[in-house]
Amino acid sequence: MEETDQLLILRTCLIAGKIMMESGSEVYRVEDTIKRIAKNAGIEDIEAYVTATGVIIGSPTIKSSQIVQVTDQSINLEKVAAVNRGSRLFAEGEITLHELYLLLKKAENETPDFPFWWKLIASGFVSATLMIILDGVWFDFIQTFFIGMIGYGIRSIIKEKLHLNFLNDFLAAFVMGAAAILMVRAGMARDINHIIIGAVMPLVPGLAITNSFRDIFTGHLVSGMARGIEALFIAGSIGGGIAVAFNLFF
Amino acid sequence: MTILINMLFSFISTVTFSVLTNIPRRAFIASGITGMVGWMTFWFCKNSGISLGFANFLGAFMIGMMSIFFSRKMRMPVTIFNIPSLVPLVPGGPAYMALRQMIQGNVTSGLDNLIIVLITSGAIAIGFMITGLVETILRTLRQNIVRPRQ
């Protein structure tokens, strides 16, 4: 095997790992994918060390190892599915290594994301429907819809423009709490508790919770703990925001 | 009527949360059904007098099993169906009540609610642990028996 081929294999594995970790995959799947690609490409003794903040791969036979830092956490499960599909096609021999590399590059840059206003409307629906099935009253449906939408919008915009990680949840929760309290005071809504419970639902760190469980159960304790702490801190930020709103306005 | 509203709204909330986590579009319906089954299991158990922890466990278990089923059928990662479906079960209500009571100075009743949060999330974790076990068993079976090593 020539040196350029070996480098291409390592680079393909590394890109696959980076895309999957950034988009919110669990560690087990990343290691599995990296090893599957490497073995099918001809490197038998690949070693992969994957954590929530970085991916290291190496191989003793070709005396080379590479590292990539995982910084930008953006939830996009479609990318995970795309990489998964690519590695399956490669394993079945339907595409070559070079085609897989191009496919991964394409998945990294061109995977469709939903437009921002779709996400806004979706977050409104999450808030309003969950408010109802968690025993809220129908009178508050529209109000919860808009409060949830505003909260999610604030959180996304702060995250995108200022790159603040937990403060965005704090501020979003604060605004939602304040809006709910003021609306009830003005007589425009009835049940503060259920409005707030429903409205914060789009902020729930569902991905961090699920992945933390799955990582710990498969023995990847480092990433599992990291994600568990992330989920706890997000929950704490939301709680803090609500608490401040209550202290100021209630 | 309440049953219909619960089914419809748990479906809608799961699908719309799927938009937020950006899952592939062709998995929307499957993920919505997973969320609906999970929530309805929890809801029926809770209303028939089963304890909150066990109801959450059964809900999480059903979510895990449905996710495995759909991930096999559509050849996609399990987490695509897991993550949005979990959201209705998250103990947001008790967590909020714990916070509210603590703010008002009722520490004891706040702690009561905090314990409910702990029990609920523990139950969901155990449900996921068991479905994870099922997943591992299925994978080992497929690797060693259906497709034996050369």
Selecting from A197, A207, A239 the residue whose C-beta is nearest the C-beta of B93 gives A197
pTM of the predicted protein model: 0.88
Selecting from B24, B43, B77 the residue whose C-beta is nearest the C-beta of A25 gives B77
User: How far apart (Å, rounded) are the C-alpha atoms in residues B52 and B115?
Assistant: 12
CA distance B69 to chain A (A): 16
Q: Chain B contact for A205, CB < 8 A?
A: no
User: How far apart (Å, rounded) are the C-alpha atoms in residues A109 and A111?
Assistant: 6
List chain B residues with pLDDT less than 50.
150
pLDDT along chain A (250 residues), means of 10: 78 89 88 88 86 87 85 83 88 85 86 86 92 89 92 91 89 93 88 90 88 88 90 92 89
The whole-number pLDDT of residue B150 equals: 47
Q: Chain B contact for A130, CB < 8 A?
A: yes
Which residue of A209, A212, A227 is the best one to mutate when testing the B interface, meaning the one whose CB has the most B CBs within 10 A?
A209
Which of left, alpha, beta for A187 (phi over 0: left; psi -120 to 50: alpha)? left
User: How far apart (Å, rounded) are the C-alpha atoms in residues A139 and B14?
Assistant: 22
User: How far apart (Å, rounded) are the C-alpha atoms in residues A12 and A17?
Assistant: 9
Q: Which residue has the tokens 């950006």?
A: B22
The whole-number pLDDT of residue B11 equals: 94
Which residue of B96, B104, B117 is the best one to mutate when testing the A interface, meaning the one whose CB has the most A CBs within 10 A?
B96
Contact A76 B76 (CB under 8 A): no
Q: Chain B contact for A202, CB < 8 A?
A: yes
> Which chain A residues are Cβ-neighbours of B5 within 8 angstroms?
132-133
Contact B79 A25 (CB under 8 A): yes
Q: Please give the full DSSP string across A64-89, using - where no structure is assigned.
A: EEEEEE-------HHHHHHHHHHHHH
Q: Chain B contact for A129, CB < 8 A?
A: yes
Selecting from B9, B97, B103 the residue whose C-beta is nearest the C-beta of A132 gives B9
